[in-house]
A and B are shown apart, each in its own frame.
Chain A
Amino acid sequence: MKWGVVRFPGSLDDADALWALSQVMGQEARALWHKDEDLGDVQCVVLPGGFSYGDYLRCGAIARFAPIMKSVVRFANEGGLVLGICNGFQILCEAHLLPGALMRNRSLSFICERVNVRVENSATPFTCAARQGEVLRLPIKHGEGLYVAPADELRAMEERGQVLLRYTDGAGRERDDANPNGSTRAIAGVANETFNVFGLMPHPEHAIEAALGGEDGLKIFRSIVMSVERTPAMASTAASSRSLA
């Protein structure tokens, strides 16, 4: 399938996402320049990790105004698949494509380490290659990954199954010391209500080769490939996503 990875000024893991998709997974992936508005015929847009525009203001707050984001918002509203990783997640929240916001880690410092996340809903285009409750080992590397949302919104999100990943220990148990950044309800990744936009703080593109420490990230990308291949008409992705599994 066809992927586009947006390159903002200050994007850092864009090359890694392209490497993961094209070199490791053999997908057709290309970079999308932030000043352009044309997404071409991509079937999934990836907003990569990094520090877009330096993130000297709130993370992602400037990137959401980039010319390409107009097209990304339109693409998402039409049901196109959008994956936001780390800074990409922050941008999706700033662009109101995802609920909630990401604040400074509870330790107030940057954290780079491998963590465990439990798949909370495997009936989505982003998680359908994983089992419900499966624990994935993925790296995080961020200073602002503490997820927050209003209590009633959180409740509704949980009920709808929008929380896709939660930090746990290796056995899939929720524990405070397994929540690296202090996220509310240990939330590591959330989808929108129509399940075609997904943001997560862990980096699946950094867990795709055993030689570099793990392959669990493949599950996320493979899910997207599976879901696209099952639903050839892209616009129908959103409608069909909930019944995938």
Chain B
Amino acid sequence: MSEDTSIESPVALAGEPAVGLEQARAHGLTDDEYRAIERSLGRTPTFTELGVFSVMWSEHCSYKSSRRHLRMMPNKSPRVVGGPGENAGALEVGDGWVAVFKIESHNHPSFVEPYQGAATGVGGILRDIFTMGARPVASMDSLKFGAFEHPRTRYLLGGVVGGIGGYGNCVGVPTVGGEVMFDAAYNGNILVNAFCLGLARRGELQSARARGPGNPVMYVGSATGRDGIHGASLLASAEFDASSEAKRPTVQVGDPFTEKLLIEACLEAMQSGAIVAIQDMGAAGLTSSSSEMAARGELGIELDLDRIPLREDGLTPYEILLSESQERMLLVAERGREAELEAIFARWDLHAVVVGKITDDRRWRVQWRGKLVADIPAAALTDEAPVYDRPAREPSKVASTQGAASSAASGPPPAEALRRLLDSPNVGSKRWVYRQYDSMVQSNTMDGPGSDAAVLRIKGTNRALALKVDSNPRACALDPYVGAAATVVEAARNVACAGARPIGLTNCLNYGNPERPEIMWQFIRGVEGIRDAALALETPVVSGNVSFYNETEGRAIPPTPAIAMLGVLEDAGRRVTQFFKREDDAIILLRTAPAALAASEYAALFTSSGGSLAPLDLKRERALIEGLVAAADRGLIRSAHDVAEGGLAFTLAECCFNPDGVLGAEIDGMAQWGEAEVFFGEGASAAVLSAAANEVEKLRELFDGIEFSVIGRVTSEPRLRVAKTIDEDVRELRQIHEQAIARRLAANG
């Protein structure tokens, strides 16, 4: 029945610019890419078609520089249900539940317009989750800002945190954790990576694969406006420069209220069984959702733009197709059940309009005012987008080697160094940030922000999930392979400290311009590091996102792969928190290798960047994680805390900050105290446990091959005493820690 239109060619519309190489370049396409478009169509594209290709073939949508490398990531395990390719991956977590989770960048929009950029980052990732049929139950964010003193940082911090809270709080999904870092390397390009996890019943996951020629295509949610046009191509897939401010109109505007209605309406509609396939209109909006669903089903689609709900008159087909207006979904319905779906969405006061149908000719065809305006093979926009094997080259000098260790002596005395670390906005408390997020709604949060990992119970079961998002750009700058692997291991260790077994991860790979060989080298090494660590820990990579072009005026950010790890606690009652609990408990240090100052916060504050990273022994890392899970499962430990940024002395202080009443620690059990490496080094994988003294020997057996030292005991007197060099009042330390960010904002307000 669509034979007639397929003979016809799409028409140029009055007033449209002529299409040629020059116009293609203005759309961010290379000359070769433009020629490939002409070959694929067998003719010159219309202006509308050119716009469509430019977004679908953008780095952001097509993953053209990363795709071939991402294939090396392990994505199998007995728990894996979905995987890369669908909107988000899924893992079985037991008792018939499936967890769907993903992390995604919204870096450039957040730099240009921090509130809306961050807000719509949250909104977008939520839709990626509920489009799979899973109810979003938890959000987290990985944030990187420029130096705290940089004139723009305060504005960006306030805007981003406000946007995350403004959207997340209003949509009823708790923000349960995250990370925040300040470093001059991000002065010109902040990072905002938003994570969401949802839960679905096994067997109720939704597909994004079109089925059934003749099935109607329905548009639901907000009306389409002019916001976000070319967000994916011009904003997300290009470096920053002085003109970037002018790109503010490409940032979308969020409406969390509509998103909340959309979540409820979509989940209800899915229960009806009348939905065949569904996908959110994210980057490249109507174009990507329609062409991707059709291509996955090896089918075609016809859209009638005159039926699209519009926010204002006068939108051209080009604008309608490329709009990134938020809170919109496209679905394929079972033929004959349209009215049923319309009624569900009407109950929630949402648009639900039939805007087209599925065809069997594999073409993506668009009508507007009775004219054919685009006619493209669906696969040309998706699977057949260009894939590049970009040259990669190791830079001659990664960073200054040597240095950090030898200059350690120049740091202040340990007690003062500890106070300064506690006061650092990087490792000090993020309370100022997370206090602005609703972490409790939905009544599942057992441990919220400020813990090693967030822990959420699954209602109706004994189970709980543990979540952690981590990154370590300083380590990645020194060694992009070891740094990336260490990030995976650290995220897993955090989850294990809560007592949960790590079962899978999602990643957001933030790098510079992939057209530069040294950036491509960083990226490939990062992927290899994640691959090796994920294989060693048997934590498949179930979803992910790549963000390239994180550069401003030629200066790239350090390689920043953010890893979000999911763990499962079979018995939520066995969960462990980081705080010391009882006087006279033994304090135990576990380590896989000696600590080092390279890439540490201590080095950043007092000495210099530089140094080199020791290789990771992934077998021992796994043994440490297994030991932590077993120790929690057998109820042998009262607390467990990962030794991360800030080092061991800092970690010990945090263990004392029990919100139910501070405790102290007397540490005397190590020989080499006195060296900055031991106090403040971060290189090693390590954890601090506390346990009843009579459990120590049973515990030791769980950590075969791991350095296991009883280094002291918990005291009721709230003082932290370490060897003879640190003797501090824990309440004072906690005060410093808690005010690390708030104090700075108040001081220069």
Contacts and interface: CB of A to CB of B under 8 A. Distances in A.
A10 B263 CA distance: 11
Interface in A1-43: 9-10, 12-13, 15-16, 19-20, 23
A118 interface: no
B435 A111 contact: yes
Interface stretch (B217-225, B442-450, B507-515, B562-570): B442-450
Interface of B: 162, 165-166, 169-172, 255-258, 260-261, 348-349, 434-446, 457, 459, 572-573
Given A16-B442, A54-B255, A211-B457, A109 B436 contact: yes
Contacts of A110: 165-166, 169, 436-438
Contacts of B440: 112, 139, 141, 203, 206, 212
A15 B173 CA distance: 12
Given A9-B349, A56-B257, A113-B435, A141 B169 contact: yes
A55 B261 CA distance: 14
Nearest to A35: B347
The 7 closest A-B pairs by CB, nearest first: A54-B257, A12-B172, A51-B170, A16-B443, A141-B438, A110-B436, A206-B440
A16 B441 contact: yes
27 contacts: A10-B170, A10-B260, A10-B261, A12-B170, A16-B442, A16-B443, A19-B443, A19-B459, A51-B169, A54-B170, A55-B257, A56-B257, A109-B165, A109-B435, A110-B166, A110-B436, A110-B438, A112-B440, A113-B435, A141-B169, A141-B438, A203-B440, A205-B443, A206-B440, A211-B573, A212-B443, A213-B446
A54 B256 contact: yes
A109 B438 CA distance: 12
Interface residues of A, number: 31
Given A12-B172, A12-B260, A206-B443, A112 B436 contact: yes
Contacts of B438: 110, 112, 141
Contacts of A12: 170-172, 260, 441
Contacts of A10: 170, 257, 260-261
Given A51-B257, A112-B435, A211-B572, A9 B348 contact: yes
B446 A212 contact: yes
Nearest to A113: B435
Nearest to B350: A9
B172 A9 contact: no
A53 interface: yes
A20 B443 contact: yes
Nearest to A13: B441
A111 B165 CA distance: 10
Contact of A212 (B162, B171, B257, B445): B445
Given A111-B435, A212-B446, 20 more contacts: A16-B443, A20-B443, A23-B459, A51-B170, A54-B170, A54-B258, A109-B165, A112-B434, A112-B435, A112-B436, A112-B438, A112-B440, A113-B435, A203-B440, A205-B443, A206-B441, A209-B443, A211-B573, A212-B440, A213-B446
Given A10-B170, A109-B162, A112-B436, A211 B257 contact: no
Contacts of B169: 51, 110, 112, 141, 143
A50 interface: yes
Given A51-B170, A54-B256, A9 B261 contact: yes
A156 B573 CA distance: 49
Contacts of B446: 211-213
A16 B441 CA distance: 7
Contacts of B166: 110
Contact of A15 (B258, B439, B442): B442
A19 B440 CA distance: 13
A69 B535 CA distance: 57
Interface string A42-63: 0000000111011110000000
A56 B170 CA distance: 10
A53 B435 CA distance: 24
A9 B162 contact: no
A15 B438 CA distance: 15
Given A51-B170, A141-B440, A211-B457, A9 B165 contact: no
Nearest to B171: A12
B443 to A, nearest CB: 5
A15 B440 CA distance: 12
